[in-house]
Amino acid sequence: MPARPDPGAFRKRFLAGETLLGTFVKFPTGHSTELLGSVGFDFVVIDEEHGPFDRVATDQALMGARAGGISGLVRVPDTGRLLGALDDGAVGVLVPHVSSPEKAREVVALCRYRGGRRGFSNTTRAGDYGGRGMWPHVDAQDAEVAVIAMIEDPEALECLDAILATPGLDGAFIGRGDLTVALGAAALTAPETQAATEKILAAARKAGKPVCIMVAGATEAQDWKALGASAFIVSSDQGFLRQAAARTAADFGPLKS
């Protein structure tokens, strides 16, 4: 396998519009993140919102990301979990339900030292357990941490320009699942969801902000890439295990009949 990019360079790569491949991590262990790094994924999103993660499990998963040489991001369930994720070494955060510019500003402030109000500590993994001095740590974290707003509410569609113009907000993740449910659409591919997704992508292009989106695979990713998306999440550790296990069970079906 060719040399891997620095996991700490995720924000730089995301802002540059590189095509990035990631997946969600649902199992509260470091093994998934380490394994996914070893096969060539660019990033993982540790899913505190929909997975059984407490602070210790997130810490272990981020340690696994470092072992696997993969960028470790965290999807927090609420803004109260941001500080722990960042101190434990997350190189980025996904924050659900950013539906107003006020919420976007709050999220950015909690993730930034200079001009924000992130609680300070450099005796964490993020600060090399005290190995980085106060101001080197402040500057490194402000430069390295990617702050990504999840756009997944109908009300966010009415103020997209203001949300995406928030200083310090690096980009958006389009939550098509939540949008589909909120809009009462039949499926992710329904016209209502498609129109909302394209509207978000158009606003992001206008603002010069990168977009991450969840897709079924490379074919669908190509379609969204043509409209401006650059970071793609495919399935999850849980999903990959289920798919592989189901294929094996089906293969053995004839032998058991």
Is residue 82 within 8 A of residue 52, CB to CB? The reply is no
Joined together, the tokens standing for residue 67 give 């072992």
Residues 132 and 69: their CA atoms lie apart, in Å, by 21
Q: Given the DSSP bridges, would you call strands 146-151 and 211-215 parallel, antiparallel or unpaired?
A: unpaired
The SS3 call for residue 211 is strand
Question: Choosing from 31, 50, 97, 137, which is the catalytic residue?
Answer: 50
Q: Is 31 a catalytic residue?
A: no
Joined together, the tokens standing for residue 170 give 């690096």
CA distances from 203 to 18, 198, 227, 251 (A): 19, 9, 11, 46
Helix ranges (H only) for 90-190 are 101-111, 134-144, 160-164, 176-183
Output DSSP code: residue 7.
G
The kind and range of the H/E element at 242 are helix 237-256
Q: Report the catalytic residues.
A: 50
